Amino acid sequence: MKIVGIGEYFISNNREEIIKTYSLGSCVAITMHCPNKKVSGMAHIALPSPTNMQESVIHPAYFAETAIPLMINKFCYTYGCRTNDLKVGIFGGALAMRDNDTFKIGLRNVQTITRIMAEKDIAISMNDTGGYFSRTVELDVGTGKIKIDTQPMII
């Protein structure tokens, strides 16, 4: 099992592999699966966009605006997938339980990811976002099947 931490991504064509990320609150996991090539990947995105170029170079998977192009390029150029074959899921993007959630990071993450995918003309086939609970997401590389566990938010 490969664990993907905050701001990390992982792509594999090992059909026996499971990719997993834990405790998505406002963060969003984006999953991609190419059924033709049996390639799957996941990124654990924390923020919509970097505040400077250095951040995006050091931690490209931390931001939606850099993680998504990175993953698409890897799928297409490293593994030979076509973008119209990708099955994409987004998970997380929870709302803060407090009333004064000024930054609305979860909502902004989801909006940014949705916009980028639309600009790239890639459909999101599975969307489990929002709400007031955290999610743990597991992706089976060989089948592309997703397992989601939810827990109440602590804060």
CATH 1.10.10.10 fits 2-152, yes or no: no
Dist CA 60 CA 19 (whole Å): 19
Q: Give the residue among 10, 137, 45, 139 at the shortest CA–CA distance from 87.
A: 139
155 vs 46, higher pLDDT: 46
pLDDT-based confidence at residue 104 (cuts at 50, 70, 90): confident
User: Is the pTM for the entire model greater than 0.85?
Assistant: yes
**Pairing mode, strands 28-34 and 87-92:** antiparallel
Predicted confidence (pLDDT) per residue in 55-90, tens digit: 777 889 999 999 999 999 999 999 999 999 999 999
Asked whether the CA dihedral 20, 24, 27, 30 is positive or negative, the reply is positive
User: What is the enclosing helix (H) or strand (E) of 108?
Assistant: helix 105-119
pLDDT-based confidence at residue 93 (cuts at 50, 70, 90): very high
What was the pLDDT predicted at 54?
Answer: 78
Sorted by where each begins, the domain ranges of the chain are: 2-152
What was the pLDDT predicted at 34?
Answer: 98
Query: Which amino acid is residue 105, in one-letter code?
Result: I
